[in-house]
Structure 1
Amino acid sequence: MKVQFALVGNPNSGKTSTFNQLTGAKQTVGNWPGVTVERKSGKYKKDKHIVIQDLPGIYSLSPYTPEEVISRNYLQEAAIDTVLNIVDGTNLERNLYLTLQLLEMGLPLVVAINMSDLLKKKGIQLNTDKLSYGLGVPVVKISALKQQGIDKMINAAKQSAKQHSDVVRYDSRLESALSEIGRVLPTELSEEKRRWLAIKLFEKDTLIAEMLQLSDTQKKEVAETIAIAEMIFKESSDAILVNERYAFIEGLLSLAVIREADQRLSISDKIDHVLTHRVLALPLFAFFMWLIYYLSIQTVGTLGTDWVNDVLFGSWIPDILDRAMQQWHVAQWLQAMIQDGIVAGVGAVLGFLPQIFVLFFCLAILEDCGYMARIAFVMDRLFRKFGLSGKSFIPMLIATGCGVPGVMASRTIENQKDRRLTVMVTTFMPCSAKLPIIALISGAFFPGRTWVAPSAYFIGMGAIILSGIVLKKTALFAGDPAPFIMELPAYHMPQLTSVLKSACDRGIAFVKKAGTIIFVACIVIWFASSYDFTLTRVAEEQSILAFAGRAAAPLFAPLGWGTWRGTVATITGLVAKENVIGTFGILYGQTGAVSESGNEIWQLLRNDYTAVAAYSFLIFNLLCAPCFAAIGAIHREMGDSKWTWLAIGYQCGLAYCASFIVYQLGHVIFEGGHLTIVTCIAFLVLCLMIFALVKKPSRKMQGPIQVIGG
């Protein structure tokens, strides 16, 4: 008979480390149905009959974030034998707030005080017997990092299985109000269930109110009871509950905790004085992120990428397949599809994997040691001015290496609107795949003008900031004012197993979700560029792809590069941005990659495009929808096809408008072009974009940041 345990705790409480210690490698990872919040489950490595469910890290069971809604629904509906509440022992007051809410639900509960080995260093003596007595549930000390107390916690969970926890009692006036509300609820409900629902109705939980479907009379009785309580306490109902919970916790800790009188700053506090310093914080963060970027993209990760591209998929696999297909007499068209389509396409995707793994490994170290929480605090003050979350900065910085991990890194943002906004704008940052386009345009059309190449980065950053300002004024992304609450845990040494597990999980997700889209797309692109409509093998100029390019070319004529060659290069660039250069090389009669000097292709390009048209082409390819791998990552993080299409539509629309304005106005100003009706339209579009920037938002921006120190 299987036993179900659920791990619940605050972010940075050590819950995931505990889960890894319990399950080892026997884990499954996926998403909760309909949402992008990750779920993990696994079997206890010492007893396969015990299944551990790792719920998302949350601060409370109030329905403010997807994680909180998911966790509460699971605790309500799933057949859980025991809840294992992982509590950060160095921050008991904050963590026990969630513990009280679990007790209010009447669930079988075991409280595990993690990081117990750090309590003595912080001058804290914790009496678990008194804490257990006050809470009415078993309390055990554990250290996930040092693998201490884990077995004791599981044994306590087995003994507590199916046993409802004691009811927490608050102020008698509040209890009277809860009793009155409980009488309104259906009588067939258990006492524990009625009390919990009464608490939720008292704090005006809209999801619970909708679920209960109370009559108008019942709603009126509940509202009257709440109004009387608010009059007595002179506080709002939700504030009454918050105060009562913290008052209970304060009394409990005065009973069970003894703190030494030594008020010296802890090592963690001393580190924070430097890392969160108003002046030093940003330069230090820039250095750390530069170091991560250098290790993952420039050195360690590149070694793996070069080997995968040049050796594994450059010679080994193609040679093996070539010999095998020759021996098996495989048809020429199938050989070409496998080698030029599947192997080349999948190889290009997997070539990113070593860089992604190193990058995620480094980020996991920062997350596990507690530094990432500080980054959000430091960056929030700056990014909030542009309507973005402080956590949005990290995905954007990562995207300068590759858009795929940049998009995937947005999952660290709890707020769904901020997360979706970040996903929409992250790929505006010029990734390494766009560098050849930047180099080609700047070298061919702007020789000696050193501002052109760096301007690509300023365009990307400018698009992000301006998009944040505009989109936050829309109904899709504007929201009610809400404080940004973060936990600042004590610094500690990262656990190697947790770091490796995190990096591996993210790497596997990249291969499974993003890589499959490239696999299919490369076959389609190969076929379209190799055959005509009679399914005859032809040169690329006579292929289906060339025909499609000519059909779509008029769409890009107002941008200055409406030739079928430029159109086809842009289309193939959706598979991978590097394809833009390769496509130009083929379509202009150059085989292979562009030579180092590029003089031949540069002259041919200058015959077809002016300098302003070329810069317009550069802007469009910088800002338009990213490669198929990044689009796959966007779909994964959005968790919804409509939102994915909205993101792609916005990116392409902004790219088109920016390119349109640059060419039409630049052609008149710098190349002596004539004013036309199209030029006037471009000026009107520019005015509309400026208006969108300066108009007042329909709702207020989020409230000031609140930091809870650890």
Structure 2
Amino acid sequence: MAAYRFALAGNPNCGKTTLFNNLTGSNAHVGNWPGVTVERKEGKCKKVKENVTIIDLPGIYSLSPYSQEEIIARNFLSKEKPDVIINIVDATNIERNLYLTTQLLELGIPTIIALNMMDEVKLRGDSIDAASLEKQLGVPVVPITATKNQGIKELLERALSLDHKHERAIKTALERTKLEAPVKALSELLQKDNYPNPLYNAVKLLERDEKAIEELNMSPAMTASVNKIVAQAEGAEGDLESMIADLRYKYISEAIEKHVKKGRKEGDLTFSDKVDKIVTNRYLGIPIFILIMYAVFQISLGPVAALIADPFAEFTGETIPGWVATFLETVGASDTVTGLVIDGIFAGIGSVLGFLPLVVILMLCLSILEDVGYMARIAFVMDRVFRRFGLSGKAFVPLLMGYGCGVPAIMATRTLEDDRSRKLAITLMPFMSCGARIPVYAVFAGAFFASNQGLVTFSIYGLGILVAMLSCIILNKTVFKGEAPPFVMELPPYRLPSLKSVMMHTWEKARGYVVKVGTILLSMSVVIWVLQTFDFSFHMVGDAADSIFGSIGKLIAPIFTWNGFGVINGTGEVHWQVGAALLTGLIAKEAVVSTLGILYINEGTEELTNALSTALHGYFSPLAAFSVMVFVLLYAPCFAAIATAKKELGSWKWTLFTVAYQCGIAWTISLLVYQVGRLLGIGL
């Protein structure tokens, strides 16, 4: 059976990811493009019997080499030549989307246009004559609605029936224009010497695209011939790059005038426009955002979530370990094996796995907000705030991703045009609390602030944003001096969230959480149990304080004496456990909870074996517990995020600076919270 590769290409917010998920389901492989950290997705199409691989290219506006995403997309298309390009076009914003289409057609690769979001076009009262548009563009045009699975079957059938063997008659935006002659001359010249993609490269030569010229590696004689043709065209027409862009838009405008009929008058407000008058209002935008996020945390960490989370935590933390303990006793397992399995593995991963429902509910809420289109509005609203602190609203997008996981969020800083903004955003990233920190907040807030768990957690997230803003002021006036770049962003229309898309996104996050528990935290639980069971001579110890881990913890603990958790609550005894747990948190933030579970629940007293939250009361005051939460919020991210930051920053100097700054800020703010609270007599 023949194997096909279909590349999905389109603008950001055109529904490309929705179509990819529709075609591949959960059968997708996620990695990085070779040599860069921009995410690459590909998967097998589940909608047809043929062997079709779908490659999801980064969202781009053009094939000009202005961003990492555009370079990746054009390199893949021009060099690897997929069998078919499926160009997803947002039918509600067809004029802007077709600009990329005019460039894709010049590549000479069989192309089919998927006019997406046709349901919204109808709701607006608009209409698009796909058949006549197809005749003008010279490629198949198929109306679809990816969220409702409409038109997908026809799209795939026509994509598979495209002629892959014979070159089609390419229609371009530059035909019958003043540039038709030089484009034709350059194309013939390139084709004569067997250069790839003659039409595409001919246009790039007229634009004096340096990257394309470098890749062609032309001989001196060829270069002279090309320069002669380009110079003649420039002498007659002037700036060719601007002229080519103008000709593309003129071609698109004429096509839209012929084939697109608007159902509403010029100036009429859409539903999205009316809603935006409220949610992006200069004065109401931020208060509305705060209220929405407060509601999200009340839902995901409040009494409603507890109805699901508590039974699940009991099952994973008590029922399953009970079954395993009974089984081990039945088979006559040794005390060492039983201790490793129950006090090591289950005390570690069970205490973290129990918070899975909270993570799922939070990610579900955020996925819905993103699918609706609200998150893009927040980037727009926050631009006014960010600009005062030296960042543009565009930085909000990767910072927002930081609430999920710091690794892809740091990768996403590549979308920021200037080096200063990227470094600043990466430095601030850990202050946007990642999902891995949720178990820490949940266990401490649940133990000490049960009646206000959602509010306390919300305040932690709010503190992270406040510290990020204050850090912007400090760093912008010292280390990262400069002005914020201009911010232009397209706001997608509000849409009903796609159940499939939301559930798939939530499933990916939940699966990632479970995989981390079953791999990193499982192995760490074993290592931690060994470290707190044996001393440096590998003799089993009776008191964990004398173990390898205890010795390391005692070295770290004094650092946090003024922060309220360097000594045990109400005593002068060194509190080594929490320092050791924070150290393991550099490997994975969930490990803070799993480490505390192993260290506290393994103390041997009956009440400590019931629940970690019960055990914490013997070591922390409410104020000290909040101080721990603040430190966990702000200190350096996990090693995976630090490694990603090193790759993006390209320097150990800057990487170590960001880690040192983050840890320093965490220690300082945690200290201030505890000492000010102590002076005020709060939570002692």
- Partner of residue 690, structure 1: none
**Segment of structure 1 superposing worse, 206-215 or 583-592:** 583-592
Give yes or no for the alignment of 1:368 onto 2:371. Answer: yes
- Partner of residue 529, structure 1: 532
| d(CA) in 2 for partners of 1:195, 1:36 | 28
User: One-letter code of the match for 1:571?
Assistant: A
| d(CA) in 1 for partners of 2:645, 2:253 | 40
Q: Which of 620, 623, 626 lines up with 2:634 in the alignment?
A: 623
Query: Which aligned pairs between 1:101-120 and structure 2 lie closer than 5 A?
Result: 101-120=103-122
Q: Which of 644, 647, 656 lines up with 2:664 in the alignment?
A: 656
User: One-letter code of the match for 1:203?
Assistant: E
| d(CA) in 1 for partners of 2:273, 2:457 | 42
Q: Which of 210, 213, 217 lines up with 2:214 in the alignment?
A: 210
Deviation at 1:497, TM superposition (A): 1.3
Deviation at 1:320, TM superposition (A): 1.8
Query: Which aligned pairs between 1:578-589 and structure 2 lie closer than 5 A?
Result: 578=593
- Partner of residue 581, structure 2: 572
- Partner of residue 41, structure 1: 43
Residue deviations 1:588-624, cap 9 Å, x none? 9998389989997579x9xxxxx9x999988765532
Give yes or no for the alignment of 1:11 onto 2:12. Answer: yes
Secondary structure of the residue aligned to 2:431 is coil
Q: 1:57 to 1:597 in 2, by over 3 A?
A: closer
Q: Which of 456, 460, 467 lines up with 1:463 in the alignment?
A: 467
Q: Which of 48, 55, 58 lines up with 1:56 in the alignment?
A: 58
- Whether the aligned pair in 1 keeps the contact of 2:398 and 2:413 (CA below 8 Å) is no
User: One-letter code of the match for 2:415?
Assistant: N
**Segment of structure 1 superposing worse, 541-550 or 499-508:** 541-550
- Whether the aligned pair in 2 keeps the contact of 1:87 and 1:114 (CA below 8 Å) is yes
Query: Which aligned pairs between 1:478-557 and structure 2 lie closer than 5 A?
Result: 483-513=486-516, 516-538=519-541, 539-550=543-554
Deviation at 1:193, TM superposition (A): 0.8
Taking only the aligned residue pairs, the percentage that are identical comes to 35
**What is the total number of aligned residue pairs between the two structures?**
643
Residue deviations 1:671-709, cap 9 Å, x none? 9xxxxxxxxxxxxxxxxxxxxxxxxxxxxxxxxxxxxxx
| d(CA) in 1 for partners of 2:173, 2:330 | 79
- Partner of residue 453, structure 2: none
- Whether the aligned pair in 1 keeps the contact of 2:444 and 2:613 (CA below 8 Å) is no
Q: 1:189 to 1:472 in 2, by over 3 A?
A: farther
Secondary structure of the residue aligned to 1:463 is helix
Deviation at 1:540, TM superposition (A): 1.5
Give yes or no for the alignment of 1:333 onto 2:336. Answer: yes
| d(CA) in 2 for partners of 1:615, 1:352 | 19
Q: 1:186 to 1:157 in 2, by over 3 A?
A: closer
TM-score where L is the length of structure 2? 0.78
Deviation at 1:304, TM superposition (A): 3.6
Residue deviations 1:343-399, cap 9 Å, x none? 232233433332222222222222223222222222222223324453655776797
- Whether the aligned pair in 1 keeps the contact of 2:294 and 2:458 (CA below 8 Å) is no
| d(CA) in 2 for partners of 1:150, 1:622 | 44
User: One-letter code of the match for 1:12?
Assistant: N
Q: 1:419 to 1:404 in 2, by over 3 A?
A: farther
User: One-letter code of the match for 2:146?
Assistant: A
Q: Which of 121, 124, 127 lines up with 1:122 in the alignment?
A: 124
| d(CA) in 1 for partners of 2:75, 2:481 | 26
| d(CA) in 1 for partners of 2:206, 2:601 | 69
Q: 1:354 to 1:413 in 2, by over 3 A?
A: farther
Deviation at 1:318, TM superposition (A): 0.5
Give yes or no for the alignment of 1:200 onto 2:200. Answer: no
Deviation at 1:542, TM superposition (A): 1.3
Give yes or no for the alignment of 1:386 onto 2:389. Answer: yes
List alignment gaps of at least 5 residues for structure 1. Answer: 444-451, 606-610, 672-710
Residue deviations 1:146-204, cap 9 Å, x none? 332222222221221425451414274434444565577584436x7122123234434
- Whether the aligned pair in 1 keeps the contact of 2:431 and 2:468 (CA below 8 Å) is yes
List alignment gaps of at least 5 residues for structure 2. Answer: 450-455, 568-572, 586-590, 680-684
- Partner of residue 289, structure 1: 293
Deviation at 1:93, TM superposition (A): 0.3
Q: 1:301 to 1:438 in 2, by over 3 A?
A: closer
Q: 1:511 to 1:395 in 2, by over 3 A?
A: farther
Deviation at 1:491, TM superposition (A): 2.2
Q: Which of 86, 89, 92 lines up with 1:90 in the alignment?
A: 92
TM-score where L is the length of structure 1? 0.76
Residue deviations 1:47-71, cap 9 Å, x none? 2433333333322222333333332
Q: Which of 154, 157, 160 lines up with 1:155 in the alignment?
A: 157
- Whether the aligned pair in 2 keeps the contact of 1:565 and 1:587 (CA below 8 Å) is no
- Partner of residue 415, structure 1: 415
| d(CA) in 1 for partners of 2:4, 2:657 | 47
| d(CA) in 2 for partners of 1:176, 1:332 | 86
| d(CA) in 2 for partners of 1:248, 1:169 | 6
User: One-letter code of the match for 2:634?
Assistant: L
- Whether the aligned pair in 2 keeps the contact of 1:114 and 1:142 (CA below 8 Å) is yes
- Partner of residue 277, structure 1: 281
Q: 1:507 to 1:615 in 2, by over 3 A?
A: closer
- Partner of residue 447, structure 1: none
Deviation at 1:132, TM superposition (A): 1.2
Q: 1:494 to 1:648 in 2, by over 3 A?
A: farther
Secondary structure of the residue aligned to 1:4 is strand
